[in-house]
Amino acid sequence: MAGTVVLGIESSCDETGAGLVRDGRLLGQALASSMDEHARFGGVVPEIAARAHLEAFTPVVREALDRAGLWPADVGAVAVTTGPGLSGALQVGLAGAKTLAHSLGVPLYGVHHLAGHVAADTLEHGPLPDPCVVLIVSGGHTSLLLVRDLARDPVVHLGDTLDDAAGECFDKAARLFGLPYPGGPAIDRAAREGDPGAVAFPRPLTGPRDDPYAFSFSGLKTAAARWAERYRAPGERPPLADGAASLQEAVADVLTRKAVAACREHGVGTLVVVGGVAANSRVRALAEERCRAAGIALRVPPLRLCTDNGAMIAAVGDLLVRAGAAPAPLDLSADPSAPLEYAALHPVGRAAPALV
Work out whether strand 5-10 and strand 77-83 pair parallel, antiparallel, or are unpaired.
parallel
Q: What is the pLDDT of residues 113-151, one digit of tens each?
A: 999 999 999 999 999 999 999 999 988 899 999 999 999
Q: What is the pLDDT of residues 248-282, one digit of tens each?
A: 999 999 999 999 999 999 999 999 999 999 999 99
Q: What is the pLDDT of residue 30?
A: 98
Q: What is the pLDDT of residues 37-66, one digit of tens each?
A: 877 777 788 888 899 999 999 999 999 999
What is the average pLDDT score of the chain?
94
Q: Which of 333, 338, 288, 292 has the alpha carbon at shortest distance from 112?
A: 338
Cβ-Cβ contacts under 8 Å for 260 (sequence gap 6 or more): 271, 290, 291, 294, 296
Q: What is the pLDDT of residues 184-217, one digit of tens each?
A: 999 999 999 999 999 999 999 988 778 899 999 9
CA atoms within 13 A on the CB side of 70: 23
Q: What is the pLDDT of residue 36?
A: 75
* Residue 44, phi-psi category: left (phi > 0), alpha (psi -120 to 50), beta (remainder): beta
Q: Which letter does DSSP use for residue 5 in this model?
A: E
Helix residue ranges per DSSP H, 192-266: 218-232, 240-266
Distance CA 95, CA 92 (A): 5
Q: What is the pLDDT of residue 101?
A: 98
Confidence at 355, pLDDT banded by 50, 70, 90: very low
- Is the pLDDT reported for residue 356 higher than 60? no
Q: Which letter does DSSP use for residue 154 in this model?
A: P
| Angle (deg, nearest 10), helices 281-294 and 240-266 | 30
Q: What is the pLDDT of residues 1-25, one digit of tens each?
A: 779 999 999 999 999 999 999 999 9
Q: What is the pLDDT of residue 2?
A: 77
Give me the mean pLDDT over the 289-311 stretch.
Answer: 97
Q: Which letter does DSSP use for residue 77 in this model?
A: E
Give me the mean pLDDT over the 149-176 stretch.
Answer: 95
Q: What is the pLDDT of residue 140?
A: 86
Confidence at 351, pLDDT banded by 50, 70, 90: very low
Q: What is the pLDDT of residues 309-334, one digit of tens each?
A: 999 999 999 999 999 999 999 899 99
Q: What is the pLDDT of residue 37?
A: 80
